[in-house]
A and B are shown apart, each in its own frame.
Chain A
Amino acid sequence: MHDAAVFLRELRKETNHASGTVVFDLSNVKAADGGVVALLIDVRSNLTARGVSADISGANERVETIVNLYSGHKGLTEYQKRKPEGAVAQIGRTTLEVIEEARALLDFLGSMTLAGIALVRNPRAGHWKEVGPLCEKTGANAVPIVLLINFLVGFVMAFQSAKQLKLFGANIYVADLVGISLTREIAPLMTAIIVCGRSGAAFAAEIGSMKVNEEIDALRTLGISPFGWLVVPRMVALILVVPILTLIADFVGIAGGLLVGVLNLDLSPRGYLIETLTAVHGWDVVTGLLKGFVFSIAIALVACQQGFAAVGGAEGVGRRTTSSVVTSLFALVVIDALFTVFFRVLNL
């Protein structure tokens, strides 16, 4: 095999312009390995394809066995080498994939709706005892990170705005800015992003593993609806948990702003809080909670759909988990934008 390159070069040189009949006389060959025989057979196949009659002869018993082992007596079936996909083909394929994904998501939404109707008719069929542990996993266990992230977001927001507002002597309005933007926009969005990264990814991975291990099929053959058993409890858990986490995020974000106000802007804690309460109305908090509610449905829907779509073992599960996070983030930003426009147009 070490001399295979030389052997192939010589062989091709000798046969490049061959016509009529070519006989590979192996009578002087005492031994040959598999790689060399494979190359010889490939050259012979190319000759045959060009219409040149090519045959192998004179091989001793040992060499002939190897030739036969590599199908030298029959010839090999040609196969096409995979070529890199062109840019246009990639764009086309990706477009079709996006359309297919959107269709699958709508299909899943339809199945979820049917499962929801079935559960309303027969509530006992739901896997409700799973909701408690799921609330703990997705809610209670996420509290520390929600506290930290939103505190820092409130802190940074106040810090950045303080510099500009100081120029106008409007230090106190930091409380208004932080309070309104957190309750209406940032807290629900940041909380949803955290839940999407933590719980959405976990849902997709968990359900994806179950899918590739045939556990979803097993559930179906036990007469149990995978939607009722897996998706509904997850969705209910997120619907319960995300608004609560959003409320916590509101408070802790305002606390972050308060710290900056007290330390950097010489505001009194009482003054800061009174200004916040004056600026932030109940409806501001409610809009954030409404967003949290819709975000939770979107996260659960996308994560579970991606989990159900997993195929092809661990690699497929990993791909779907990543896709779940990316799609959910995209959905969250789009929903947030739609909400903002909607509230703005209705002056809410």
Chain B
Amino acid sequence: MMSIPVLKATVPRAWPVTGRARFVCASRSVPRGGRADSDKAMIEVKNLTIGWGDTIVQRDLNFAVKRGEVFGILGGSGTGKTTLLRFLIGLESPTKGEIDVAGRGPPNLEAGLPPFGVMFQAGALFGSLTVGENVSLPIEEWTSLPEDAIAAIARAKLKLVGLDGAANKFPAELSGGMKKRAAIARALALDPELVFLDEPSAGLDPIMAAGLDELILTLSKTLGLTVVLVTHDLESIFRIANRIIMLDRETQTSIATGDPRELRNSADPRVYGFFNRKSRED
């Protein structure tokens, strides 16, 4: 294993965050295949019930996401995939059950920089900022790097997602796919260990969707990034996901967890039907 000197941001990785980050010269060991230096799961969910008030969307969810894997949250429309994601990233607080993200307990967005990046379904880029400014924003907020260095990092992140040259455009000038790519660049701006992607390939043409899948796979393999993605795009799941959890609307709980390639031949007719595009009646 080679130890390389890198400029490492002392961006706080743990809650709570006190004070601003400083950039210092540090030495970091980059393990092969990413930063998976612990056997502990990146995300652990135990007996989680999600919903609002008296409305329960899913109950008794139990699963773990390993470091460095691409984990899919699957299910039909209205099963609560995005709702589960909102709980995992701390936008909603569970009333029952436990969530542990990166070994630091439940995510608390009020306490500072979370140890993950998020790509929302429609990108959620800030319309009043250019694409470059969108990507620069978290770097500006959490480091004291000079402006030119921030711009350089933002350009590099945009190039990584194939948006070289789009830095000065406003989100309104981008296509749906470009917005998603820019949102991924923003999610990766501070080099998190974990990213959440909400429907990354929804609304994209097959070529663009395949390109995005390739990008996710590359990031996961080369940077050791843990990826949690919400989707109902089966092609994408088979191509990039190591494991999945499948949610069911009727039973309001998960009906399968595991390798999607194995689950394709599941004995459970609901799982089999979903993976083979057949309704239960058929």
Contacts and interface: CB of A to CB of B under 8 A. Distances in A.
Interface of A: 122, 124-125, 209-210, 213-215, 217-225
B7 interface: no
B154 to A, nearest CB: 14
A221 B109 contact: yes
A220 B109 contact: yes
Contacts of B17: 223
A224 B91 contact: no
24 contacts: A122-B19, A122-B20, A124-B20, A125-B20, A209-B127, A210-B126, A210-B127, A213-B127, A214-B120, A214-B121, A215-B124, A215-B127, A218-B124, A218-B125, A221-B90, A221-B116, A221-B118, A222-B138, A222-B141, A222-B186, A223-B17, A223-B112, A223-B114, A223-B138
A221 B112 contact: no
Nearest to A130: B128
A221 B19 contact: no
Contacts of A122: 19-20
Interface of B: 17, 19-20, 86, 89-91, 109-110, 112-114, 116-118, 120-122, 124-127, 137-138, 141-142, 186
Residue among A124, A209, A218, A219 with most chain B CB within 10 A: A218
A264 to B, nearest CB: 49
Contacts, number: 58
Given A214-B121, A215-B124, A217-B124, A222 B112 contact: no
Nearest to A114: B110
A135 B247 CA distance: 49
Contacts of A124: 20
Residue among A125, A215, A223 with most chain B CB within 10 A: A223
B114 A221 contact: yes
A220 B91 contact: yes
Nearest to A224: B141
A222 B112 CA distance: 8
Nearest to A213: B124
Contact of B91 (A221, A222, A225): A221
A209 B19 CA distance: 31
A214 B124 contact: yes
A336 B32 CA distance: 68
B282 to A, nearest CB: 14
Nearest to A221: B118
Contacts of B118: 217-218, 221
Contacts of B116: 221
Residue among B112, B116, B117, B141 with most chain A CB within 10 A: B141
Contacts of A214: 120-122, 124
Contacts of B122: 213-214
A223 B142 contact: yes
A225 B127 CA distance: 18
Contacts of A213: 122, 124, 127
A215 B142 contact: no
A218 B138 contact: no
Contact of A217 (B91, B125, B138, B142): B91
Contacts of B19: 122
A122 B117 CA distance: 24
A326 to B, nearest CB: 26
Contacts of B90: 220-221
Nearest to B18: A122
Contacts of A209: 127
Contacts of B113: 222-223
User: Across chains A and B, which 10 residue pairs bring their CB atoms closest together, nearest first?
Assistant: A223-B113, A218-B124, A214-B124, A221-B118, A214-B120, A220-B109, A222-B138, A215-B124, A223-B112, A217-B91
Contacts of A210: 126-127
B245 to A, nearest CB: 21
Nearest to A124: B20
